[in-house]
Structures are given as structure tokens and as C-alpha cells.
Amino acid sequence: MSAPEQQACSRDFAGTIEAAADAEAWLMSQSGALGLPEDTEFALNLCLEELFINAVQHGRANRATISIWAEADGVRLEFVDDGGPFDPGEAPAKRISGPTDDFEIGGFGAGLVQKFSRRLSYRRSDGYNRLLLEFGAARDTNAGSEAPHTT
């Protein structure tokens, strides 16, 4: 992993659905401080929600740590959780193939993460899933330049 261009902002969250909403609000405040374009904010928010829900509902994670930082070629999101091993980059991208009234609902999260991130790398170490997502948006030069602070 390359060194962050800016100091990473990180925060721990409990492994609950309620905490997922808090994590989304926190991430949006951080991405706002980074002055990211709307499309990148959407992609970050989407990937975070999918990863958090999956870690809690399927991985039974008790904790998740989220970090975000900017680099010269875009922004990085690191998601670390203590749930069961799961690599969303290797999971099949499920999609309904219709038209039909007998379609299976669910399992779309991994495919969305693959679609909305530029690059995804996963490793499992010390009982943690460590996922690094890259998003390819440059910073919005019209936005404020103040660097975010670690919380």
C-alpha cells in the first residue's frame, strides 16, 4: 500500500445496522471535507453501506474500522472488520436475468462494490478482513482546501 498523500481519517464502529447509518454520515462528512465530486461521494457511500451490511449480517462482525484518505489519483477507503472471511472482489456479481416473476432477491452487494470502485484489494490477517477500495476521482478544485482531521 502506498503512503497516503493526506493523513487518513479513521473511526471505529460497532457491528450493528444502526452503526452503519452513523458510519455513512461520518463518511459523508469526511468526503465533504475532501471536496470530492458527487459521483465519488455516491460510490463511496454505496460501497460502505454494502460492506457494512454484509459484515454485520453475514460475517457477524462485532467491530468495523473505516479509514478514508486522498491520494494524487483519487481517494482510498479502507474497511476492516472482525467478521468471517469474505472477499467481495471474488464473490459472484449477482444480477436478475428476466423478465420473470420468479427471481431471487438479494446478494447484490458484492457486484455493486465491484462496479462502483475502481480497484479492490483484499487480505485476511490476524482474524480481520482488510479491504482497500480505490476511487478514481480527482478532488474538486472549487471546493475548500482545508485538510480533514483525524477523529
Residues linked to residue 9 through DSSP beta bridges, in sequence order: 68
**Minimum CB–partner distance for residue 95 and other proteins (Å):** 4
Size of the site for other proteins (CB under 8 A): 31
- Residue partners of 147: CB distance under 8 A and separation at least 6: 6, 7, 33
**Minimum CB–partner distance for residue 73 and other proteins (Å):** 21
Instruction: Please give the span between the terminal C-alpha atoms of the chain, in angstroms, as a whole number.
Output: 22
**Minimum CB–partner distance for residue 5 and other proteins (Å):** 26
- Binding track, positions 49-88, relative to other proteins; x by CB under 8 A: xx--x-----------------------------------
39 contacts other proteins (rule: CB under 8 A): yes
Closest CA to 105 of 116, 115, 94, 114: 94
